Amino acid sequence: MDKQQLLYEGKAKKVYATADPDLLVVEYKDDATAFNGLKRGQIADKGLMNNQIAAHFFRVLAGNGVPSHFVRVLSGREMLVKRLSILPVEVVVRYIAAGSLSKRLGLAEGTPLPSPVLEFYYKKDELGDPLVNEYHIRVLGLAAPQQVAEISGQALQVGKLLTAYLREKAIVLVDFKLEFGLFHGQVLLGDEISPDTCRFWDAVSGEKLDKDRFRRDLGGVGEAYAEVLRRLTGGEPERNVESNN
């Protein structure tokens, strides 16, 4: 499907209209940002890898009864998705203390949490995407209480499925961020699931296989993304991919 006008360009993706008002083309970029855009750079072939990693995860979830905006892969860097009205609430599910949770609660990084911690963040760049709760969401009108319940339930279900799936790939899912939107009134999973939005650790060595390598100047960022893709699909990034599912 041909992409038409550029509708939006974010930190990691471009979104284009199509001839079908219900469908969009998402193009993944090699740009990398951290700390609310204060740190910027590029990771070679990140767009290729994240597009294919995200598509793989969306297929895994669909096979387990979790629908998303994903329709099909169009090329190495592009996927066709359903056009969502994005809810301005990011959902983070945490299983192991890391990143901001370690700093806020004084927990050593790597501390297992006795139960999953689910957090909401207000998608507002100029405010730095602040942490909010259900009361803030209601007051700001970001989502209806039933929608909050739906995205919470779906986020925990996604986490349970991916934790088990990744365990078979010798990857520990430490935490992850999801975004949701409305498609003709239905709450659907959107955005992406990739090393940009998840913390992945090697199950044996504890090596970080995600964007923390960029955030913390650890080096080997592209290699880590490629390793995740290899473990998921058994192959290297494809530059001219087209799929009907």
User: What is the per-residue pLDDT for 241?
Assistant: 61
Residue ranges in the chain modelled with pLDDT below 70 = 37, 240-245
Tens digit of pLDDT for each residue in 36-73? Answer: 767 789 898 999 999 999 999 999 999 999 999 999 99
Domain ranges for the chain, please list them: 6-83+221-233, 85-215
User: Residue 84 is encoded by which pair of tokens?
Assistant: 């969502």
pLDDT in the model for residue 239: 72
Q: Which CATH class is domain 85-215?
A: alpha beta
Global confidence as pTM: 0.94
* One-letter amino acid for residue 46 of the chain: K
Domains 6-83+221-233 and 85-215 share a fold: no
The per-residue pLDDT for 242 is 55
Contact 48, 12 (CB under 8 A): no
Q: What is the pLDDT of residue 244?
A: 44
CATH number of 6-83+221-233: 3.30.200.20
